Structure formats: structure tokens, C-alpha cells
Chains A and B, each alone.
Chain A
Amino acid sequence: MNRRSFMSWGTAGVAALCSAVGVSLGAVGRFLTPSVFYEPPQTFKIGKPADFPFGSPTFLVDEKIFVFRHREKGFAVASAVCTHLGCTVKYFQSDQDFHCPCHGSIYSANGTVLHGPAPRPLNWFEITLAPDGQLRVDKNKIVPPTYRLMV
């Protein structure tokens, strides 16, 4: 084998090896990415409007949301997940603000950051009335804090 064909075969060999390694790594990455997530659905019903009192918000444990019901302005749903690192925030009716226990972020009643490391305001989710008269929350749809559902 002369020098030239050695070089070209060599290059081809290295290229083949690299692509084989690349493809294998890609396959491993894909293998590790779940095709199906067995996680709670992002859209769910939370019950009839009458189930929710006026005044302090109702905290739904499994969904990690606060459901606000205001006499004139209607329904709004805030996420209870701190935008900093995902701890569950608490609502303090006395001060009308949210406190995160992990690193001390404080959010105002409309979700804007008042204090602490949280980079973004709390999320507000779309809430609508399903045909069967139940309230439906869609966590995929982020809405402005002024969003209200009037019932």
C-alpha cells in the first residue's frame, strides 16, 4: 500500500469510526430520553366554581396551584412552584404575599418578585369553564396576572 492510499483509507477509517461513535452516543442519548412521561396531565379539572370560597386562595396539593376567587373580578390560578429552584411557595393572607421557604424569595399577590433570588414572577395559568360546568386549568397556557375568569 502506498502512502497516498494509506492516507485515504486511514482518513476513511477514522471518519467511519467517528461517525460510529457519534451515532452510538446519539442512540444512548435517545435511549435515556423517555418517549412517554408518566406524569400528571397538564390540563385538568378542579371542580365546580361553588367549591371555592372567596378571600384567601385554595391551595391544591397535587396540582401545586393556588386558586384565587375574587368577588368582583372572578377566578385566577397561580402556580405554587417558585421560579427560582422549584420549591413550593406559601401564601400569607396577612401580608398578601407568597414566601418561598428555600432561599427566601417573596412574591407580591400578583406574583411579581419583591425580594430574593427568584428570576421571574410566579406563573399564572389559564382557567376556563368546561362544558360540564367544572373549572379547567391548563398549565401549558401561561397568562398575564390580570387574567380573570368571570363565572
Chain B
Amino acid sequence: MNLIREIWRSIVRRDPLSTDKGKSELVFLNVWLHIHPAKVKKENIKFRYSFYLGFITFFLFLILLTTGIALMFYYRPYPSVAYQDMKDLQFAVFMGPFLRNMHRWAAQAMVLCVFLHMCRVFYTGSYKKPRQFNWVIGVMLLLLTLGLSFTGYLLPWDQLAYWAITVGTNIGSYAPLVGGRLRELLLGGHTVGEAALIRFYVLHVAILPSLVILLTIVHFWRVRKDGGLSRPLWKLKPRKTEALVTIGAPAEVAPLHVAAASPDKTYGLMEVVTGKPIFETVTPEEEEDTVFSYPYAFVREAVALMATVTTVMTVSLFFNAPLEEMANPAITPNPAKAPWYFLGLQELVSHSALLGGVVIPALMVIALLAIPYMDRNPSRRPRDRKWALWVFTFFVVANVALIIIGTFFRGPGWAWVPPWVHVVARPE
């Protein structure tokens, strides 16, 4: 009995969780949990502030990693067998369809959630100082997420995959000067063929996931270092012009005068060094309600995790990921549509490949990246930033509208066909 106790104590070295010390140690003695602070602001863990969209995105990514690795056991990235392996997964492999469905639906949900998360961050003004660069990292994560979807799309090697990638990579070749060469590098050739498949595979299973993991680590680290989530809008305080901060000062010395502490900043004791002790006093308003991460934050995160996994699993039980006929370079299905989240782009491209496929998307990405640096307005209050809110809302609505048009209102030959009209293909 004693031995078992000793083993247990060697694994779990914290104090019992009934004590405050134990609750803190649970966080900072644990390599996985210590990205959290020991205590969090009570208001920040409310569902109605972040909707946990960042977490959900991350959990979807974890689902994608696990199901993706499982699929790799059966998938060979070679044209003649790739499609056959998909069929095997669909009909012969135990739980194959379920795993494939989970991977497919989680991928689509991730694109959606990463977008919604970005909207949440924008509408709450959380990209403002000191979080500017974390927004930039976020935009890179958004692009990587789209890149993962795009590269994954080719792998089943069916008609949908082949033509979506043919069209998609041809869009790139409209980029001035480098376009053609970029396409050649990506495809390893001039048409979508075996060289393209292996390149997309390597990008999809090795390079892009590694980059996402790397940037996610930085993203989380920065959320933590920026003092956790930004303060909910309903808790915003009147802006201070300056604040008094006492740093390591003995009582008889006057407090150091420090200008303008950001009202959103929390200060943490990061390290103890020898010499004069460092401590800080915070204004009473900074010392607002905080609660221990255990259990309050962890329970909510665990609920978000379980809700995400359960939803993906349930959807995967009832809806099958599509698989069309094997890729046939000679016959383009009519209409040939990209995955839904690229249909806005396809709609633009149907008007002009250079403008819609290269110039507008490039400007959009640049604008997104520049938002925290262009928006010089320090206030996070909606009523102070009407202009910014209108512009961003226009961006969101335009994207959604284009996607809806591309998805539901385009028929054969990309002609305008409302969903309630049925068209029959013309005879040849």
C-alpha cells in the first residue's frame, strides 16, 4: 500500500486540490496545464465573451491530427491507388468511413470556427495593443488552415478533388511574374498528376501541420503573456491617463511614478531572482475578481472539448463524406465547384481571374494583417469604433454573400441558377 502511495506521490507531486496551494500547483507543476495562469479573471471565462471559439478551433485541430494519422495507415499518395484506398476506407476498413467522416467534417468545422474566432476577436477589439502581433499570428493560422483544407482536398483523387485543384492552382498562375513558376513548384509539373499528389500529401501531412502546431504554441503563449484574454466589453473601465505603480520600493521611498499603465494589463510575478525582492502593487481595480483555473476554467474547457468531439462524432455517424468517381482529366464535371469555403473566391474568379483570384484576395490578406496597425483608435468600446465595425462587417457580409451565391445560385456553366430551379444539361 505504501509503495503504491509512493508511486502515486512520485507522479503527482502537488498538494491536495482542496488547498489553494494544491490548486495552483496543479497548474504550474504540470507541463500541459501551465500555459494557464493559476488564477483567471472571472469574467473572461464566461462563454458569452469568447464563445470558446479559439478553444474549439484547437480541439478540432486535435481531432484532425488523430483521425488524420489513423487515415495515413491506409492511404497511399499515388494516383492509381489513392482512389482505391479511399474506396477501401469507405467499404473495407473497420471504422474507415467513420474516421474519414470525422476528418472531413472536423476540417470544415475548423475553417468555420477559425473564421468565427477571428470575428469575435475583431468585434471585441481584442487585436489592439498589446495584442497586435497575436492577431497577425492568427491571420497566418487562418491561412494555414485554408492551406491544409486545400492540400487535403486533392488526396481522395476523385473528380471533385482533381478539378478543384486544377482550377485552384490555375488561379495562382495568374499572379504576375511568379505565378507560373509557383504553380510549377506546387504541382511539380504542369498539370495535376502524380508529382502534384505527392507534393500535396507532404504539405498536408507534414509541413502545414507542423507550422500550425508551431504557430499555435506561439499564439497561446502570447495570449498568456498579454495578460490572458482581453477584458470583456461590459467590464471596460474608463481610460486612465496614468497610474501609480510601486516596484520593489521600501516603505520610506516614494512610489515610482510610471505613466499610463494599460487598463487591460495584468501583472504577473514571472520569476524570483536574488537581490532585492521584486513585488508589485496593483490598483484595487486591477485586483478584480479572479478565480482559480482549477476547476473553473478547466471545467469549461473540458466541456468545450467534449461538446466539440461529440458533435463531430454525431455528425460523422449520420453524414458521409462525399466521394465521387475517380479523377478523369478528360471530363470536367459541370459545374465544377471548389470546396464551399473557396466558392466566394470561385465566384470572384468567374468574373476575372487576375482581379478576383489574385488581386482582391491578396489585398484582403494584406488588409487583415494590417488591421491592428492601421486602426489607431485605442478604444475597444463599440460606440467609439463605428467605422471599423462597419468596414469589417462589410467584409464579413461580402464573403458570406459570395459563398452563398457560389454554393446555391450557380449551376452548369456557372450560370445563375437559383436552388429552386432545376436545369437539364444541353445535348452535345
Contact = CB atoms under 8 A, between A and B. Distances in A.
Given A33-B184, A86-B167, A94 B427 contact: yes
Contact of B350 (A32, A64, A99, A104): A104
A61 B331 CA distance: 8
Contact of B353 (A29, A90, A119): A119
Interface string A71-109: 000000000000011111011111000011111100000
A32 B412 contact: no
Interface string B149-164: 0000000000000010
B426 interface: yes
A90 B185 contact: no
B352 A88 contact: no
Contact of A102 (B194, B332, B427): B332
Contact of B336 (A59, A92, A102): A102
Contacts of B351: 117
A37, A93, A103 pick with most chain B CB within 10 angstroms:
A103
Contact of A101 (B334, B352, B427): B334
Interface in A6-59: 29, 32-34, 37-39, 59
Given A39-B191, A102-B332, A117 B353 contact: yes
A122 B231 CA distance: 58
A132 interface: no
Contact of B349 (A94, A101, A117): A117
Interface in B163-178: 163, 166-167, 170-171
B353 A102 contact: no
A55 to B, nearest CB: 13
The bracket for how many chain A residues form the interface is: 20 to 34
Contact of A84 (B185, B330, B353): B353
Interface in A108-123: 116-117, 119
B333 to A, nearest CB: 7
A84 B349 CA distance: 9
Nearest to B191: A39
Contacts of A119: 353-354
Contacts of A94: 426-428
Contacts of A90: 428
A84 B346 CA distance: 12
A116 B167 CA distance: 15
Given A39-B190, A39-B193, A104-B413, A92 B350 contact: no
Given A64-B329, A85-B353, A93 B163 contact: no
Nearest to B354: A119
Contacts of B427: 94
Nearest to B167: A85
Given A64-B330, A87-B163, A103 B349 contact: yes
A33 B167 CA distance: 21
B188 interface: yes
A23 B289 CA distance: 55
A34 B195 contact: yes
B415 interface: yes
Contacts of B346: 103
Contact of B329 (A84, A88, A91, A101): A88
B330 A62 contact: yes
B189 A39 contact: yes
B329 A102 contact: no
A38, A104, A116 pick with most chain B CB within 10 angstroms:
A104
Contacts of B350: 103-104, 116-117
A100 B163 CA distance: 13
Contacts of A102: 163, 167, 332, 335-336, 414
Nearest to A59: B330
Interface in B380-428: 412-415, 426-428
Given A62-B329, A119-B354, 15 more contacts: A34-B195, A39-B190, A39-B193, A64-B329, A84-B353, A85-B167, A85-B353, A90-B428, A94-B426, A99-B413, A101-B414, A103-B346, A103-B349, A104-B415, A117-B353
Interface of A: 29, 32-34, 37-39, 59, 61-62, 64, 84-88, 90-94, 99-104, 116-117, 119
Interface of B: 163, 166-167, 170-171, 184-185, 188-191, 193-195, 329-336, 346, 349-354, 412-415, 426-428
11 contacts: A33-B185, A87-B163, A87-B167, A88-B329, A92-B426, A94-B428, A103-B346, A103-B349, A104-B350, A104-B413, A119-B354
